[in-house]
Each structure stands twice: as C-alpha cells, then as structure tokens.
Structure 1
Amino acid sequence: MAYFSSLTPVFVAVLCIVLGFLLKTFLTKDKVTKKAPKSEPNPKPWVDEDLQDNTEINPKDDAEEDWADSESDVLRVPYSPLQLSEDDMLHCSQQFFVLMNKRRSVRNISSKPVPREVIDNIIRTAGTSPSGAHTEPWTYVVVADPETKHKIREIVEEEEEINYKQRMGEKWVSDLQRLKTNWVKEYLDTAPYIILIFKQTHGIHPSGKKKTHYYNEISVSISCGILLAALQNAGLVTVTSTPLNCGPKLRVLLQRPGNEKLLLLLPVGYATEDAMVPDLQRKSLEDIMVFI
C-alpha cells in the first residue's frame, strides 16, 4: 500500500499533464475550425474582386524603402473666386439643375463622329477634381480604334453574361427586367469613344519608389461625377457601366500597369435620333435633403 501511495501523486501529475495537452489540442482545433469554416457561397457575388485591394491607407506589409518620402510643401497663391450677385447665383444654379436633370443613361448611341478636342476638354475638366493629398489617382483611357472597341465589347459581354446568369442573383436580374437591360452591349461598337476610368492604387515617384494614393477610390469617383457633368454640358450621352470582373482582361488589352484598377466604363457619343429611355422620376428635394 505504501508503494501505491507514493505513486499516486506522480500518477495524478502525469494524468493532469496528459489531460491538459488533450484539452489544448481540442481547443486549438476548435479555434482553427471557427476561423476557417467550410467554404460557403459568396454572399455578395456581385462585388468586383479586382477592386478589393485594401489600398485606401498606406500598406504596412511592404518594406518601408519601397515607398517614397513625403514631398516638399506646395506654394500657396491667392484665390480668385467667381463673383456673382445673389440673383446670378440663383439663375446659374437653376440653369445647371435644368441641364443636369436632363441627364439620362442612354444606350442608343450614334456612330456620328465627335470632335477630339471636345473629349480632350472633358477629360481636362474631370482632372480638376479634388483628390486625397492632391495625388490625382486617375487614368482616363479613351478608345476610338474600332478594333479595340470591339475587343472590349467581346470581353465585357462574355463577363456580363456570366454576371446575369450566375453572379448577380435572381433578385438583381429581376429588378433590372423593368428597365429591359441585358448583357448585349451593341453601343460599345457604335459609340465614337469608350472612356475607361482606372483608379491608381498607388503612384510611382520619379525616384522609382511607390507613392501612396490616399482615398484613391473616393477621389476617382468624384472625378467620374465631374466627367458625367462635363459630358452632359457638351451635349453628349453615355451609360455608366461597371462590368464585374472585366478589369484584369481589359487592363491587359489596354496595356495598363498592375497598379491600375478599372472603376468605370463609359461609351460616349451623341444619342441616336430614335433613342429611347425609361420614363423615370427622380426623388424630390425633401426625400434627399435634410436641412437642420
């Protein structure tokens, strides 16, 4: 009995160690299982993976020497704003609203040529947009070559058919039925120009190092809004297109660098004489503005 009595503490200690190891192993497996559940369908299959690049802040996983230092201060100059009377302000604001309220998404685009100088001015206007730390993280690729436009159409229609049949889901497709849209994009051939707007996830400093582009997607989106206004002001039409998962193929086709991601695609030209658009009503001022 004395022998077994002397072994008891040792046995208990060993047993505790074994049980502790088994418990730790079990908890670790359970933790891993919770972290990596079985693969499930993407709850948002319509999200363009090419734009999910986590570039809105300075990446921390790259070596510091890869990124350029902050640039020198910018010279400040006097600002000379446009001087208008209150009556002129009211008139201009009303006229601009009337102009922009006529803007519609038009899919019937004529092949009638548009002067290149007009497009140049429109892109210049889009380039006046504000941007994070004035990094101007946008590239506007204007395509006029018929062969390239047709290749763009082939890429877009191939992916858009998959979008309509698989990625977008029944509800989205059902919601679009009343607008009679589909994956066929004839206007990509007929429009005189296709403007593809790329956001630059980072820039390249003259030293060859990377340059951080803060809020690059928001900055480029603001620029796109100004571009749409400039097109409307020039009497041209377009339809905003965000073809899912076309970015990589179009980037290769247009020989754009890897730091550029396709954000928007716009066919641009005149509306055809028989162009039709849905009879839609916009929300009232009371529905979109809260005045406090």
Structure 2
Amino acid sequence: MPPTLPLSFAPRDTQAMEAAAAAFLQSLSGRRTVRDFAPDPVPREVIELIIKVAATAPSGAHKQPWQFCVVADPAIKLRIREAAEKEEYENYHGRMSEEWLDDLQPFGTDWQKPFLTTAPYLIVVFKKPYDLGPNSEKQKNYYVNESVGIACGMLIAAIHRAGLVTVTHTPSPMNFLQRVLGRPENERAYLLLPVGLPAAGARVPAIERKGIEEVLTWY
C-alpha cells in the first residue's frame, strides 16, 4: 500500500453548502474578459498566491505537468507583443476563415495586442508532455492537456477572486514564447494571460452567457 494521510474535510449542512456555492457563483458571474488594462503595479505576492491556487489543480498521475512563467520585464513583454502581433496579423489576413472572422466581430478584436505591454504582468503557462530526469531522460506525463486546462481554469478564477482582470490570449502558433523565454525542450506554450487592473473607463462587449437549461442535462 502506498503511504496515505487522513483527509482534512469539514462537512457542511445543506444550507451551508448552498450558501457557499451561491456566493462563489455570484463572485464568478461578475468575471469578464478585459482587454483594456491600467499600467498600475500589482503586488508580486498577489501573483504568487494566485499561481499557488492554480498549482493545487488535479493532474494525471499527480505529475503536475505545468510551468508558470511570470513576465514583468518591459523589454521582454515588448518582444512577446511584437512576436504575437506578427502571428496575429497573419491570422487576421489569411489564416482565419471568414466564418471565424465573422464570429469575432462582436468583440471588436484585431491583430493589435497592446495589452501585452500595458498589463503589469504576463503569465505564460507551459505544458510539459514529459519531464526531464536527472540524466535528461524523458519521463512521460499523462492527460497533459486536461491537467493544464484545469489548472488554467483555476488560475483564471483566482485572478478574478483577487480583484484583478485578464484575457485568455492564444496567438497561434505560440512556439515563439518558448524561444523568447528560453524555455527547455520539454515545455510547450499553452496559454498567455495578461494580468492587472482594468483601465479607467474600460468597457466589455454586451454579451450574455448561455442559460443553465442550455448547458445542463440531468439523467
């Protein structure tokens, strides 16, 4: 038998469970994707705490196949923006289908990504298909995309709960991030999250989420 520990768990009655779930829903219902950031500084300790939250995510065989890189250096942020905008320009001028471009119109997005230099921090999440052992031997990881996706969801929730905003940015292809940040061969860029405070007067698209009847099926 592998070693185990007693589960630390405090049971709640039905009323307490409903109250906790409702409070979390109310908080997360206010989360919005924001593309207009203030350059105001954010304490480094806050960023570290939200990443600690993400790192509690479950993962295949507990391999924890993620690496979180936080970029605060303005010169590196500029290099990332220039590389991202180069790829995004190609996307908006030939790579994306007309249907895709039509679906993006309500959001008013284009190839320019000023938030990559305005936001005080960029969190670049890398997935690791395998780890490197002491002698550089490959050690396989499992359910990598699923594990890192769960961690990113928890990271976004933690960003919101901390009183900050973000936008999920996925320039395609993203391999320039590995090059700019000098990451090892076993890491692949998964997601880029600018993090900070919203700009004064920031606005967001007038959109609605699907109702519960559209996303929930009981059996």
Aligning the two structures, in what range does the TM-score lie when normalised by the shorter sequence?
A: over 0.9
**Paired residues for 1:1-292 under 5 Å:** 74-247=2-175, 249-292=176-219
Q: Encode CA deviations 1:20-51: one digit per residue, 9 max, x unaligned.
A: xxxxxxxxxxxxxxxxxxxxxxxxxxxxxxxx
2-side partners of 1:105 and 1:252: how far apart?
27
Q: TM-score, normalised by structure 2?
A: 0.97
**Computing the radius of gyration over CA atoms, which structure comes out larger, 1 or 2?**
1
2:61 maps to a residue whose letter is A
How high is the sequence identity, in percent, across the aligned residues? Answer: 44
Deviation at 1:210, TM superposition (A): 1.2
Amino acid at match of 1:132: G
Distance of 1:208 and 1:99 partners within structure 2: 44
**In 2: Cα distance, 1:233 partner to 1:261 partner:** 27
Residue segments in structure 2 that go unaligned for 5+ positions in a row: none
**Alignment partners' CA distance in 2, 1:209 and 1:258:** 12
Partner deviation per Cα, 1:187-237 (whole Å, 9 max, x = no partner): 111100000011001001234321110111111011000000100100110
On the 8 A contact 2:132/2:186 being kept in 1, the answer is: no
**One-letter amino acid matched to 1:189:** T
Deviation at 1:74, TM superposition (A): 4.6
Question: Over the residues paired in the alignment, what is the CA RMSD in angstroms?
Answer: 1.1
- Decide which moves more: 174-183 or 229-238: 174-183
1:82 CA displacement: 3.1
- Summarize deviations over 1:47-103 as a string: whole Å, max 9, x none: xxxxxxxxxxxxxxxxxxxxxxxxxx7521110113322211111100100111111
Q: CA deviation at 1:132?
A: 0.5
The alignment covers a number of residue pairs equal to 219
1:169 to partner: Cα distance: 1.4
Aligned-partner Cα distance in 1 for 2:128–2:52:
17
Deviation at 1:151, TM superposition (A): 0.7
Q: Secondary structure at the match of 1:258?
A: coil
How far apart, in 2, do the equivalents of 1:143 and 1:269 lie? 12
Measure, in 2, the Cα distance between the counterparts of 1:156 and 1:82.
Answer: 46
Residue identity in the other structure for 1:162? E
Label 1:285 to 1:258 Cα distance change in 2 as closer, same or farther (>3 A): same
Is the CA contact (8 Å cut-off) linking 1:155 and 1:246 kept in structure 2?
no
Q: CA separation in 1, counterparts of 2:142 and 2:214?
A: 32
CA contact (8 A) 1:197 1:264 kept: yes
CA contact (8 A) 1:199 1:220 kept: yes
